[in-house]
Amino acid sequence: MISRKKLIAGNWKMNKTSADALTLVGDLVASIGRQNDVEVVLCPPFTSLEAVGKAIEGSSIKLGAQNMHHEGSGAFTGEISAPMLRSLFATHVILGHSERRSYFAETDEFINKKVLAALKNQLRPILCVGETLAERESGSTLKVVQTQTERGLDGVGKDLAAGMVIAYEPVWAIGTGKVATTEQAQEVHAFIRGLLTKLFTTAVAEKVRILYGGSMKPANAPELLAQKDIDGGLIGGASLEARSFVELVTAASAAR
Cα three-residue angle 129-134-136, rounded to 5 degrees: 60
CA distance 207 to 213: 19
Write down the least CB distance from residue 162 to ligand 13P, Å: 22
CA distances from 73 to 68, 107, 199, 236 (A): 11, 21, 31, 29
Residue 249 contacts residue 45 (beta carbons within 8 Å): no
Nearer to ligand 13P, 131 or 169 (CB): 169
Output Rg (C-alpha) for the chain, integer angstroms.
17
CA dihedral 91, 109, 185, 201 (to 10 degrees): -70
Write down the least CB distance from residue 113 to ligand 13P, Å: 21
Phi and psi at 31, nearest 5°, equal -100, -30
Q: Mention every residue, 6+ apart, whose C-beta is less than 8 A from residue 179.
A: 173, 214, 215, 216, 217, 220, 224
Segment near ligand 13P (CB under 6 A); pick from 44-52, 116-124, 153-161, 208-216: 208-216
Residue list 222-241, contact with ligand 13P (CB under 6 A): 234-238
Question: Per-residue x/- marks for ligand 13P, 146-175, CB under 6 A?
Answer: -----------------------x----xx
Q: Please give the size of the binding site for ligand 13P, defined by CB under 6 A.
A: 14
Nearer to ligand 13P, 124 or 200 (CB): 124
Nearer to ligand 13P, 53 or 232 (CB): 232
> What are the residue numbers of the active site?
97, 169
Nearer to ligand 13P, 61 or 238 (CB): 238
- 96 touches ligand 13P (CB under 6 A): no
Number of residue whose CB is nearest ligand 13P: 236
Among 236, 237, 235, smallest CA distance to 38 is for: 235
Among 130, 233, 127, smallest CA distance to 173 is for: 130
Residue list 10-39, contact with ligand 13P (CB under 6 A): 11
Nearer to ligand 13P, 21 or 174 (CB): 174
Q: What residues make contact with ligand 13P under the rule CB under 6 A?
A: 11, 97, 169, 174-175, 213-216, 234-238
